[in-house]
Amino acid sequence: MKDQLGRPLRDLRISVIDRCNFRCQYCMPKEIFGQDYPFLPPSELLTYEELERLAKAFAELGVEKIRLTGGEPLLRKDLHLLIEKLIQIENIKDVALTTNGVLLPKYAHSLKEAGLQRVNISLDSLNDQLFGEINGRNVGVNPVKKGIAAAKAAGLGIKINMVVKKGLNDSEIIPMATFCKENELELRFIEYMDVGSTNGWSMKDVITKKEIYEILAENFELLPVEAAYYGEVAKKYQYQNTNIHVGFITSVSESFCSTCTRARLSANGHLYTCLFNGNGHSIRDFMRKDVSDSELVEYIVNIWSNRNDRYSDERTEETRKNRKKIEMSYIGG
């Protein structure tokens, strides 16, 4: 099954909860997501049984990889039980998780036992004060480092995600690269993106892949790495004389819309065909009408076959201001 631009459906990103224990500036700024913010009640979240049923429908249509996101997904009770269900679905080859890492010392072992293969851990600075400012909770770096250690001990694959904002944490590019190289961790530099409408995004705050690469090249010898599969998002390089990779997520400066294979399921059960498209489809409400499995599959087919999103290709000041968007806390990254 392909969309209007010939792109197949291969990846499903599931946001299991809209809550988070951080208030990162680029995702859930504390000025907006305060103590009285109306988060979703449990009844509006998809149950694990509903998520399993949806995952089976997506797998039937070609999805091979599932990533669990949030909010902070480890705030969802007994997440390992969902992973156990997903990992057993025919055609699902990979189940991964994006997390801030703070709860991994508690859960890494049970996640691995349930079948989780990989985690992406968000870490935007190695400076305690700066990291506390970015995460909005004054949490230092050590809790995340402990999460990394726990994931390693459990045998999980690890990638580190660093969102880079010009004038905020671009001074941390070399320290982060050095830390990850020394600890044999793959680092992903993520360009600051205009997801949602609450993070105050401006193009002047973006430090591009080209700029980051030039900073790295002054300190490291980098060799380009071929994409491993169709639709791979990261543009990857390898440190010379090592097998350690560093990657770039270039949604702003070097669009990858033409090979995007990802569908996104929000915490409240809406299906989105683009990270930047706020016009979702309430698959939760449709499913709760007691529809058959074939009707559910057909519902997804109709949405994907009519998909023509390519926001990053078309991004302008006008489209950015006029396009309805969903917040990252509902849809994940």
pLDDT tens track for 58-81:
999 999 999 999 999 999 999 999
- What is residue 317's predicted lDDT score, i.e. its pLDDT? 58
Q: Which residues of the chain have pLDDT under 50?
A: none
pLDDT for position 200: 67
Quote the longest CA-to-CA distance of the chain: 59
Q: What is the pLDDT of residue 29?
A: 87
Asked whether the whole model's pTM tops 0.85, one would answer yes
Alpha carbon distance 27, 29 (integer Å): 6
What pLDDT is stored for residue 186 in this prediction? 97
Cα–Cα distances in angstroms (integers) from residue 332 to residues 48, 131, 142, 148, 208, in the given order: 18, 20, 24, 20, 21
Q: pLDDT per residue over 89-122, tens digit each?
A: 999 999 999 999 999 999 999 999 999 999 999 9
Side by side, which strands form the sheet with 94-99? Answer: 222-224, 235-239, 245-249, 186-191, 157-164, 118-122, 94-99, 65-69, 11-15, 262-265, 270-272, 281-282
71 DSSP β-pair partners: none
Contact 10, 65 (CB under 8 A): yes
Q: 322 is written with which tokens? A: 């006029």
Candidates 45, 55, 113, 101; CA nearest to 76 is 45
In this structure, which amino acid lies at residue 125?
Answer: S
CATH 3.20.20.70 fits 11-331, yes or no: yes
Establish how many alpha carbons lie within 13 A of residue 320's alpha carbon, considering only the half-sphere containing its beta carbon: 16
CB 141 within 8 A of CB 175: no
Beta bridge partners of 190: 163, 249
Q: Which of 296, 321, 221, 309 is nearest to 59 (CA)?
A: 296
Which residue from 298, 288, 279, 283 is spatially nearest to 61, judged by alpha carbons?
298
Give the pLDDT score at 310: 87
| C-alpha to C-alpha distance for 221 and 134, rounded to whole angstroms | 30
What pLDDT score was predicted for residue 203?
A: 82
In 205-264, which ranges are continuous DSSP H helix? 209-217
